[in-house]
Structure 1
Amino acid sequence: MVSSKPACFGPSHHHSGVSCIEEFVTDDSVIEVPQNYVISDQESPISDATILATIPTIDMRQLVLINQSANNDELEKLHSTCKEWGIFQLVNHGVSSALLDKVKQELEDFFKLPLEEKMRYKVRPGDVEGYGTVVKSQDQKLDWGNRFFMFTNPRRKPHLFPELPTSLRSNTLETYMLELQRIARTLLGLMGKLLKMKMEEMEKLFEDGLQSLRMTHYPPCPKPELVIGLRPHSDGSGITILHQVGGVQGLQIKKDGAWFPVMFDHGAFVVNVGDILEILSDGLYKSIEHKVTVNPENERISIAMFFMPKLEAEIGPVTAMRDPQKPPSYGKIGMEKFVEKYFAHNLNGKTPFERMKT
């Protein structure tokens, strides 16, 4: 059943312009889907979960060993995967299962907090960081998910990260973020090598760069075909590292013009090539268009980290990727302008990014 009532707000936040789902999703199943959440023009996946896209697997341990051996098969696999898929699952990444278990427990505990407590972190007017989804207009269609987004480097908002529950912030997230920074540094360095960049070029670009974190809770919905957890988009990052908490799937990717549900191994990270790497490689590497669907019975929780160059940087196709016989596909753009453009639009496939082509 569909309800025509507007997007819900916490009782004391009606004018805050921040939506939440908790008001009508309780321990009992939700009876109605508010009209603001009904997405009528969704493209269906190519199959009803019978044919799943098997995304390539990259072995981090093998990548690290490459420098100590003549075998570069895994590096070549990384290169072809970034060109043909723009997404892969990363195994043997060195992050302990004990830490991932802690992340799972702490995120589940955080999203179980009372709404009033979580709204302490709500997105403030004119901002993009915090808890909830910014509602810009009455007829805006909303994603079926509760999310907390924040920049974690180089600066952190004093009312966000430092105010998170200590067990989540100090014992878990700090360690988790350091581990993912290690992984991102290694992957970006190797990708720079594959793109024939000078050794220090990629490092200099991303050193002390913008880093952000998005924690998302997708409640179950009895009419999942009416809603979307996260609408189609590509990431405005260099790379994104996603950890799916628990075993509930929901990620779909667009490949060869069709949508495919994706399955990946428990304990593996999913790494997305972002728009910035597509620009640096002048279109050789592809940022993957993806979306999240909702489960009718089970909640899904994920945590994504986004790695971008520093705000003062200028990005454009690297010298080695330019073809002297034709103009580059992308021009140069300052990171500050790029970030501003990315957050100026609601997610809409790769359309905003395609507009940046020369």
Structure 2
Amino acid sequence: MMACQEWPEPVIRVQALAESGLTTVPECFIKPRSQRPINTTLVPNQAKSCPQINININNNDNINIPVIDMKHVYCDDKRLREETLERVSEACREWGFFQVVNHGVEHELMREAREVWRGFFHQPIQVKEKYANSPLTYEGYGSRLGVKKGAILDWSDYFFLHYLPSSLRDQAKWPALPTSLRNVIAEYGEEIVKLGGRILEIMSINLGLREDFLLNAFGGESDLGACLRVNFYPKCPQPDLTLGLSSHSDPGGMTILLPDENVSGLQVRRGEDWITVKPVPNAFIINIGDQIQVLSNAVYKSIEHRVIVNSDKDRVSLAFFYNPRSDLLIQPAKELVTEDKPALYSPMTFDEYRLFIRTKGPSGKAQVESLTSKCDSN
């Protein structure tokens, strides 16, 4: 199945809609009732900024995804190191999400990365349209995921770019304005790749595998894939009717997210509840993708998440996707396959796998669950 060359309908720029002063959400953005942001655990100050949302406020400030201090991973204190590794392991097994602090990336670089992209999204529309994307590669300035005609759309715009392998990196396709953007993002990408390698090493050790197992399964340092999607969530007049990003698990290996520290929006599924993540200052949010679920034979699971929008404030986040090389077969590690727990997934390349979300858009956990059924039928 080939990727589509064009979008099935005229592209709607959500930021332009928001800035037009409209007071109601167009019908094509209104989610079915079962998908609207209700039965939500929010921190109290966010509830005040989203008065239209029908929510269950939980005043327990301890409800958050785990926070891991990475300085303890490399310290001389063996007990602290082992405790930290265990906390990462527990977060991967129980949550699929965690935040990291003292991760080695300069805080000023993190701030600059957010600000240059905020600067891009506030350029005149004619500047942004020069980078308009297509579903063939998704690279560039976009406003929808999936090519299903008549789909209910998400309340967001984005910019998608390739970072690795270097053969796919074309800075001419990256925004020229603000003038510092290309240099900042090149440096930012380099640092995030290093961070991703350290986290994959920790995950490999915790799974009882060689410390370079996951990195090598992704293709090694020279061949792994990496890309960046910068999300812009404009303020929304009716945030109770729509979502910034529909529920999904990430199709790739691992996501390293730089959140907007001023506006919460990311929600993680926890049983039947949606937990709103409270970003810790100068932290990255890490989440397991479908490919690590497959490689770990479901010891680690990718978790559904979504993004709610705000009636008063725009929000910017940078999602760096750390992925396997596109043509490598991904399958459960043989060390994690036993008689008691046979391989749950059939081999599939990442290229074959991600075509699902590029065609259908965000679809909960439907994609990775379909692999289990295929394996059962073999």
Q: TM-score higher than 0.5 here?
A: yes
Corresponding residue SS for 1:19: coil
Matched AA of 2:161: M
Q: Name 1:148's counterpart in structure 2.
A: 159
| Structure 1 position 217, deviation (Å) | 0.9
- The answer for unaligned runs of 5 or more in structure 1 is 1-12
Corresponding residue SS for 2:371: coil
* Residue 50 of structure 1 pairs with residue 74 of structure 2: no
Q: Residue 273 of structure 1 contacts residue 288 of structure 1 at CA under 8 Å; is this kept in 2? A: yes
Q: Residue 8 of structure 2 contacts residue 147 of structure 2 at CA under 8 Å; is this kept in 1? A: no
Q: Name 2:74's counterpart in structure 1.
A: 64
Once the two structures are superposed, what CA deviation does each residue of 1:34-73 show, in whole Å capped at 9, x if it has no partner? 111111332523443632631111111112227x735411
Q: Name 1:9's counterpart in structure 2.
A: none
Matched AA of 1:50: I
Aligned partners of 2:321 and 2:7: how far apart in 1? 31
| Structure 1 position 138, deviation (Å) | 5.0
* Residue 33 of structure 1 pairs with residue 42 of structure 2: no
Number of aligned residues? 343
| Structure 1 position 325, deviation (Å) | 2.6
* Residue 279 of structure 1 pairs with residue 294 of structure 2: yes
| Structure 1 position 21, deviation (Å) | 1.5
TM-score (norm 2): 0.84
Describe how 1:68-83 pairs up with structure 2 within 5 A: 69=78, 71-83=81-93
Once the two structures are superposed, what CA deviation does each residue of 1:192-250 show, in whole Å capped at 9, x if it has no partner? 12122234432322322111101011111121001110000000121101011341001
Q: Residue 247 of structure 1 contacts residue 266 of structure 1 at CA under 8 Å; is this kept in 2? A: no
Once the two structures are superposed, what CA deviation does each residue of 1:260-282 show, in whole Å capped at 9, x if it has no partner? 22212121110011111111111
Aligned partners of 1:49 and 1:115: how far apart in 2? 38
Q: Name 2:180's counterpart in structure 1.
A: 167
Instruction: Give the superposed CA RMSD.
Output: 2.3
Corresponding residue SS for 2:229: strand
| Structure 1 position 180, deviation (Å) | 0.7
Q: Residue 29 of structure 1 contacts residue 221 of structure 1 at CA under 8 Å; is this kept in 2? A: no
Aligned partners of 2:29 and 2:357: how far apart in 1? 23
Q: Name 1:292's counterpart in structure 2.
A: 307
Aligned partners of 1:292 and 1:126: how far apart in 2? 25
Corresponding residue SS for 1:147: strand
| Structure 1 position 310, deviation (Å) | 1.3
Identity of aligned residues (%): 31
Aligned partners of 1:351 and 1:209: how far apart in 2? 25
Matched AA of 2:217: L
Q: Name 2:119's counterpart in structure 1.
A: 109
Corresponding residue SS for 1:267: coil
- The answer for unaligned runs of 5 or more in structure 2 is 1-5, 42-54
Aligned partners of 1:205 and 1:17: how far apart in 2? 39
Aligned partners of 1:256 and 1:180: how far apart in 2? 30
| Structure 1 position 25, deviation (Å) | 1.9
Q: Residue 147 of structure 2 contacts residue 359 of structure 2 at CA under 8 Å; is this kept in 1? A: no
Select which of 235, 255, 261 maps to 1:240: 255
* Residue 139 of structure 1 pairs with residue 150 of structure 2: yes
Corresponding residue SS for 2:161: strand
Q: Residue 195 of structure 1 contacts residue 320 of structure 1 at CA under 8 Å; is this kept in 2? A: no
C-alpha spacing 1:313/1:248, structure 2 compared with 1 (3 Å): same
Aligned partners of 1:54 and 1:69: how far apart in 2? 27
TM-score (norm 1): 0.89
* Residue 187 of structure 1 pairs with residue 199 of structure 2: yes
